[in-house]
Amino acid sequence: MSTIEHVFDALRDTVLDHLGGAGVAGNSKLIAFEPGTPIPDQSFRLADEARTLSPELAREFISAHADTFPEVIDSLFSRRMLTVENQYGVLLSGAAPIDPATTEMLGAVKRIASDDFDVEVQALQPGMGGYRPVMATPANWYDLSADGNWTTIRIGAADDPPPTQRVPGRYASTLTMWQTLPSTERQILSKPLDIQLFDATETPSFLGADAPLNLVQPLQPHARLQRSGAIDARFLRQVEAVESPITRVGSLTAQRVAMRRDAARVAVEPAPRLVRNHRMDKRRLFTAERLSALNDLVLANATPKPVSTDSFSISFRLCLVQLHRPWLSQSLLSLPGWYLPGFARGSLSDASSLTAPMALVPTGCILIRDLQIKGQWTDDDREALSSSASLGPLSLLGRDYDAGSAAITVSGMQSIGWLCERMPVIPPAGDPNLPTV
C-alpha cells in the first residue's frame, strides 16, 4: 500500500519509463495531471445504425482536447485561453527578421510553414468548420477493443515491478484530495458522464442555477479565436503595420489574420461575466471541449477533503497517446534571429519557466481505463468517497463501490494527464523598436 503522493510519483515514473527515457534528459519533458475527464465511447461513434467507430471523430477529439498552452504549477495542468493553433498562427504571421541579411532565409522558412499551416481538415461534427489535425500514436487509441494499446499498471501492491526511482514530485493540493459534491448533486456519481447533459436545452438541475462556467464563454462570431486572449490583441495592433517581403501567407492564413484582428478588437473590451448560458450555440464546440466544460461544471461546487489513509493501492490500464502537429514548424520555432512587434525576447517562452504564455505544449495524453482503488479507509475517507466526484486527477463518475472489499471501480476511459514539452525561447529576439529599460 502507498500514500497518494507515492501513487502519483509511481505513475509519473511509469509514463517516463514507457518513453524509454527519451527526451527526459535536461527536463525537456514533464508529466502534469489535471482533473480527469471521462471520455464516453459515444464520442467516437457515427450516428449510423451500426454506431460505427470513426477515426475521423477520434482525430477531431484529440485535436481539440490537446489544443492549449497550459500553465503547470506543482504538477497541476491548468488549461488557459491560449490555444496552440491560434498562438502559433500569430507567430507565423508576425515573425520579422532582426537582421535584414536574414530576410530571405526567414521568408523561405515562413513560406513552407504557411503552406503546412493552411492545411485544414473538415470536421465531421455537425456545425463545425475546419480544424488543424493533431496526429496520434497509436492511431487507434480510441478503440477499446485494441488491447495492445493498453498496459496494466498496479501501484502499491507487493507484486509490482518498481519503476525507476526519481526525485519525488511536488503536487498541488487539488491532486491529493477528495472532491466531494453537495447532496443535491450526488445522484450523478454512479452515472457515467453523458455529453447529452451538456447538450440539453435546459440546464441540468443538479448543476445549480448560478454556478460559474470558467471554460466555455458565451459564444460570439469569433469566440474560438477570442479565447486566445489579450496576447493576440497586444500583438495584432502592431502586426497590421508590418510590411516586409517575408509576410507572404497563404489565403487561408490571411483570412485568419483578419479574423484574429477582429477578435482582438473585441478582446480588449471589458470581458462579459462568465456565467453558464444553456442557450449558447453548443454546436460551435468540439466534443472534447463540451466534455471538459461539463466536467468543470460538475466539479464547480465540489469541496476538497484530505485523504486520511496512508495505505491504499490503485490499478488501471494505461495508454499513452503521443501527439504530433504536422502544421507546427520546428524549423521556424528553432530558427534564431526573428522577433515579434511589441515583444521582448523570451516574453512568451524563456525555455525555463512553466508559467509563461507558451512555455509548454502537450505532446502526449495519458489515458486510463478499468480503474480500481482499494484502501484501508478511515471513517473520514469512507464518508468522503461516498460523495466524491474525483480523487485527485482520477474521475470517480460512473463508479461502483464494493463495501466488502473497500474497492472503488470505474470502468470507462478517462484523460488524467499530459506529457508536456518545453518550447524554445519565443521570440528568440526582442523587438528593436521597444524602448530600452
Which of 297-306, 313-322, 369-378 is predicted least confidently? 297-306
Q: Judge contact between 422 and 359, C-beta under 8 A.
A: yes
Tell me what pLDDT residue 405 has. 84
Map out the domains of the chain as residue ranges. 4-83+135-218+278-422
Query: 219 pLDDT exceeds 50?
Result: no
**What per-residue confidence (pLDDT) applies to 299?**
84
Instruction: Name the percent of the chain lying above pLDDT 70.
Output: 74
Instruction: Provide the CB-side half-sphere exposure for 3 (13 A, CA).
Output: 10
- Answer whether residue 160 shows pLDDT above 60: no
Please state the rounded mean pLDDT for residues 39-47.
89
CA-CA distance, 227 to 399, in Å (whole number)?
33
The share of the chain scoring above pLDDT 90, in percent, equals 49
pLDDT > 80? residue 419: yes
Q: Are 287 and 43 in contact (CB under 8 A)?
A: yes
The whole-number pLDDT of residue 211 equals: 38
CA atoms within 13 A on the CB side of 433: 8
pLDDT at 175 over 70: yes
Which has the minimum average pLDDT: 36-45, 265-274, 324-333?
265-274
The mean per-residue pLDDT over the stretch 347-358 comes to: 90
186 vs 266, higher pLDDT: 186
Identity at 246, one-letter amino acid code: I
- Give the per-residue pLDDT at 328: 97
User: Of 431, 357, 364, nearest to 82 (Cα)?
Assistant: 357
Q: DSSP string of 333-362? A: HH--SEE-TT--TTSSB-SS-SSSTTSEEE
Non-local (6+) Cβ contacts of 142 within 8 A are 43, 44, 53, 55, 58, 61
Does the pLDDT of residue 134 top 80, yes or no? yes
Selection from 88, 134, 119 nearest residue 250 by Cα: 119
Measured CA to CA, the distance from residue 231 to residue 268 in angstroms comes to: 10
In this model, does residue 244 exceed pLDDT 80? no
Buried b (16+ CB within 10 A) or exposed e, 111-140: eebbebbbeeeebebeebeebbbbebeeee
Q: Which three cell numbers stand for residue 161?
A: 515491478
Work out the pLDDT band at 169, boundaries 50, 70, 90: confident
Q: What is the pLDDT averaged over residues 148-172?
A: 72
pLDDT of the residue at 165: 57
